[in-house]
A and B are shown apart, each in its own frame.
Chain A
Amino acid sequence: METFLSVSGKLAQGFGTTLSLFFLTLLFAIPLGLLFACISRVRLKALRFLMRAFIYIIRGTPLLLQLMIVVYLPGIVFNNPLTKWPVFKGNVPLSYFCGALFAFVINYACYFAEIFRGGIENIPKGQYEACEVLGMSHSQTFFRVILLQVIRNIVAPMSNEVVTLVKDTALARTVSVVEIYFAASEILRLQFIIWPLFYTGAFYLGFSALLTLLFGMIEKRLSRYWR
């Protein structure tokens, strides 16, 4: 029982880091994704091409690889390792956490951008035209008519991505971020008990269940109206 409590405490602490990574990634990746989506729709062909190429590269390579590049490249190429960067929380250096966060944000922004782009492009042209002949301005059209339909279009794919993000955070352990999985493997290494590793599953599952419920509610709320 005592071991269980102490293990739970350590895992909960790791899960705190998992959650910070999760929420901070969403916080930055959603607006950045919106920006990427807009850029990949601009008239200027070169810019659009660059944006789409970037999104293609990020989506076409493993997040694991991107993590390695972000965290180790500054040290290898510029002789300026991330560990030297002055990011601290109290005495704990946060540089690897920030590096991992950066990689997660870029990666997820690219996925979100594609979801947003699809959500916007799926709005029937007739909706814009109806607004136009009714004399609405561009901003009225977007905020009063289009936006809610876009949100409705993206709820399901977003819920997918967000649940995937919960589990992807486990990758951060590869760059020394002590999230819940790392915490469990430390217990295995130091105390030779393996069940905490499996126990992490309960945390992931519980959190995913919460998210699924939340998205289900949003979806239900929106589908009360149409289709």
Chain B
Amino acid sequence: MAFLEVKNLTKSFGDTRVLKGIDFDLNSGEVLSIIGSSGSGKTTLLRCLNFLETADGGSISVDGKAVFDAGDPLLSSHKAIRHNRINFGLVFQSFNLFPQYSVLRNLTLAAALKASEENPDYKKRKKEINAELDERALRLLDRIGLKEKKDSFPCELSGGQQQRVAIARALMLTPRILCFDEPTSALDPELTKEVLRVIKDLRTEGNTMIVVTHEMDFARDASDKVIFMANGIIEESGTPDKIFGSPESPLLTSFLNQ
């Protein structure tokens, strides 16, 4: 059984059917790139995985455990969603860092709030726990090469730096699958490189990732699997070699020749 299994996922907005039955699976440690033109449903798919949208039908399971099932009301309660969504992390196209907090606080805020809720002796060990979180955040910042920026505010960073901080922020909660929604679309080519390098590094460390991207070079070189979406369905999927080397679908061929 695959690590992530998505079965027959459907989603409509009003009369528009955005996802018309999506099936795919992903093994632990693999990187999946989702490509396709605007409006093909790839961002909606990612948002369904992260519970920012609720799919109308289908199911999602991680490591053999159902995290979403349209037919199971138990899984769609607010509490269940809050519990299950931590399986996934999401990095946004527009970074969405918290402007009023330092880089370090951006990383630790959610983890600290989580500890205050879940750890029964948080009040007693507050200092200790926060020190641990700071330390972990600093290690992450070191890994993305931004340790010296820990006290800066987001507005003082370049777009590429902000996106790297956003990646570190998502990693703080140790998601089992990290998703990226067009992480470099708001960046110029130079900054795109530094962000993609971080994502590639994460791959060598064995992180399971799903990347919605317009960077074809990245999809070809840095993923284990590629899905091409068109009109709400998976038009074609396979290894990067197959998708880019010998595409079968005429839609994919014309998409790649653009």
Q: Are A145 and B114 in contact (CB under 8 A)?
A: no
Q: Are A149 and B96 in contact (CB under 8 A)?
A: no
Q: Are A130 and B113 in contact (CB under 8 A)?
A: no
> Considering the chains assembled together, what is the distance between the CA atoms of A30 and B52 in angstroms?
33
For the complex of A and B, the 3 pairs showing the least CB-CB separation, nearest first, are: A226-B99, A134-B110, A126-B96
Complex contacts, A60 vs chain B, CB 8 Å: none
* Closest residue of B by beta carbon distance from A137: B82
A132-B52, A133-B88, A226-B100 known; 8 new pairs, CB 8 Å cut-off, are A126-B94, A126-B96, A129-B96, A131-B110, A133-B50, A133-B89, A145-B98, A226-B155
Instruction: Identify which of residues 88-144 in chain B touch chain A, using a CB-to-CB cut-off of 8 Å.
Output: 88-90, 92, 94, 96-100, 109-110, 113-114, 117
CB distance from B126 to the nearest CB of A (A): 16
Q: Are A130 and B155 in contact (CB under 8 A)?
A: no
| 5 chain-A/chain-B pairs, Cβ below 8 angstroms | A126-B92, A130-B96, A130-B98, A145-B98, A145-B109
B149 within 8 A of A: no
Q: Are A136 and B92 in contact (CB under 8 A)?
A: no
B residues neighboring A (CB under 8 Å): 50-52, 82, 85-86, 88-90, 92, 94, 96-100, 109-110, 113-114, 117, 153-155, 169-170, 173
> Considering the chains assembled together, what is the distance between the CA atoms of A225 and B85 in angstroms?
30
* Closest residue of B by beta carbon distance from A224: B153
| Known pairs A124-B96, A129-B92, A129-B96; A135 contacts B85 (CB<8 A) | yes
CB distance from A173 to the nearest CB of B (A): 43
Q: How many residues of A contact B (CB 8 A)?
A: 21
* Closest residue of B by beta carbon distance from A222: B100
CB distance from A225 to the nearest CB of B (A): 5
A148 within 8 A of B: yes
A residues neighboring B (CB under 8 Å): 124, 126-127, 129-137, 140, 144-145, 148-149, 152, 225-227
Most buried by A among B97, B99, B114: B99
Complex contacts, B99 vs chain A, CB 8 Å: 149, 225-227
Q: Are A133 and B153 in contact (CB under 8 A)?
A: no
Q: Are B154 and A226 in contact (CB under 8 A)?
A: yes
> Which of A127, A133, A148 is in CB contact (< 8 Å) with B85?
A133
Complex contacts, A144 vs chain B, CB 8 Å: 109, 113
Complex contacts, B117 vs chain A, CB 8 Å: 137
* Closest residue of A by beta carbon distance from B52: A129
Q: Are A149 and B100 in contact (CB under 8 A)?
A: yes
Complex contacts, A124 vs chain B, CB 8 Å: 94, 96
Complex contacts, A132 vs chain B, CB 8 Å: 51-52, 85
Q: Are B114 and A127 in contact (CB under 8 A)?
A: no
> Considering the chains assembled together, what is the distance between the CA atoms of A126 and B99 in angstroms?
12
Complex contacts, B153 vs chain A, CB 8 Å: 225-226
